[in-house]
């Protein structure tokens, strides 16, 4: 049986899920900021024990590669790579913004022709973002963007766009278009991995374990004390 352990640490939350037979059979999340290093192994151990699964019975490990929190991504990827090295397992990765798009489809979106725009806060008026259609096909690639009132105007003129994620709160305050719609409480979560990684596993789209690094998108800024 194919079993994939999924790890998500790109946001302030930390979550883990388990996929069996192309279905999420268990998922756990800790909603405590900066808790990743303290709880990630606890969540993994808990979910495997509840499902009566041994680490040696896993088929692969999947992790959110970013963009997102520098520290969170480093912890998640390090944990995933450590498990893959020690258990001789393949590594799968997903874009954290794609995870958010999967999450958004669980909301009551009435227009399947609308576009989806996940946004993660990246300091001040900057966000990590991309545009997808309702089938999760990429319309505009992942980028780091400084928002202003005219952002996405070229798309909003002719399309409804659902914006979501903690970065969208900044855009909601300045955008004027009636085609800009907003969804609350959407964030990257391990419970949304299945739609993205089961296909990758079937096609053996594994990462190069030695060279794989988080997708930081931009350089990390150290705060001056």
Q: What CATH number matches the domain at 108-183, 3.30.420.40, 3.40.50.970, 3.40.50.300, 3.90.1140.10?
A: 3.30.420.40
Among residues 140, 126, 112, 138, which one has the least CA distance to residue 168?
126
Specify the pairing of strand 3-8 against strand 14-20.
antiparallel
User: How many Cβ atoms sit within 10 Å of the Cβ of residue 58?
Assistant: 18
Q: What is the pTM of this model?
A: 0.92
User: How many Cβ atoms sit within 10 Å of the Cβ of residue 39?
Assistant: 18
In the chain, pLDDT over 70 holds for what percent of residues? 96
Q: How far apart are CA 187 and CA 12, in angstroms?
A: 9
- Fold (topology level) of 3-96+188-202: Nucleotidyltransferase; domain 5 (3.30.420)
- Domain ranges for the chain: 3-96+188-202, 108-183
pLDDT in tens, 22-49: 999 999 998 876 667 778 999 999 999 9
**Biggest alpha carbon distance in the chain?**
53
Residue 26's Cβ-side half-sphere holds a number of Cα atoms within 13 Å equal to 17
Query: What sign does the dihedral 171-117-196-26 (CA atoms) show?
Result: positive
CB contact at 8 A, 16 and 27: yes
pLDDT in tens, 46-104: 999 999 999 999 999 999 999 999 999 999 999 999 999 999 999 999 999 999 999 99
- Helices 96-104, 194-202: axis angle to 10 degrees equals 120
Specify the pairing of strand 161-164 against strand 115-121.
parallel
Q: State the burial class of residue 49 (Cβ atoms within 10 Å of its Cβ: 0-12, 13-18, 19+).
A: exposed
Residue 12 to residues 76, 110, 172: CA-CA distances in angstroms? 12, 29, 21
Among residues 12, 6, 8, 23, which one has the least CA distance to residue 165?
12
What count of residues does the chain have? 225
**Residue predicted with more confidence, 108 or 62:** 62
CB contact at 8 A, 216 and 67: yes
Fold match, 3-96+188-202 / 108-183? yes
Specify the pairing of strand 180-183 against strand 14-20.
unpaired
Q: How far apart are CA 156 and CA 44, in angstroms?
A: 41
Is 219's pLDDT higher than 80? no
pLDDT in tens, 163-203: 999 999 999 999 999 999 999 999 999 999 998 999 999 99
């Amino acid at each position: 049986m194919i079993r994939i352990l999924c790890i998500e640490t790109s946001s302030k939350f930390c979550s883990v899920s388990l996929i069996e037979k192309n279905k999420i059979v268990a998922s756990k999340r800790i909603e405590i900021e900066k808790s990743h290093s303290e709880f990630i192994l606890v969540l993994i151990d808990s979910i495997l024990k509840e499902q009566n699964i041994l680490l040696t019975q896993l088929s692969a490990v999947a992790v959110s590669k970013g963009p997102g929190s520098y520290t969170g991504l480093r912890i998640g990827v390090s944990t995933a790579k450590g498990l893959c090295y020690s258990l001789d397992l393949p590594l799968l990765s997903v874009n954290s913004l794609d995870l958010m798009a999967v999450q958004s489809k669980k909301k009551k979106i009435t227009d399947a022709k609308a576009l989806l725009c996940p946004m993660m806060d990246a300091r001040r008026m900057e966000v990590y973002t991309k545009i997808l259609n309702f089938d999760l096909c990429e319309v505009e690639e992942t980028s780091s963007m400084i928002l202003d009132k005219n952002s996405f105007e070229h798309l909003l003129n002719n399309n409804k766009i659902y914006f979501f994620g903690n970065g969208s709160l900044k855009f909601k305050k300045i955008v004027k278009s009636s085609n800009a719609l907003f969804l609350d409480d959407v964030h990257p979560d391990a419970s949304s991995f299945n739609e993205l990684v089961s296909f990758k596993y079937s096609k053996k789209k594994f990462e190069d374990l030695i060279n794989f690094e988080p997708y930081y998108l931009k350089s990390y800024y150290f705060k001056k004390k």
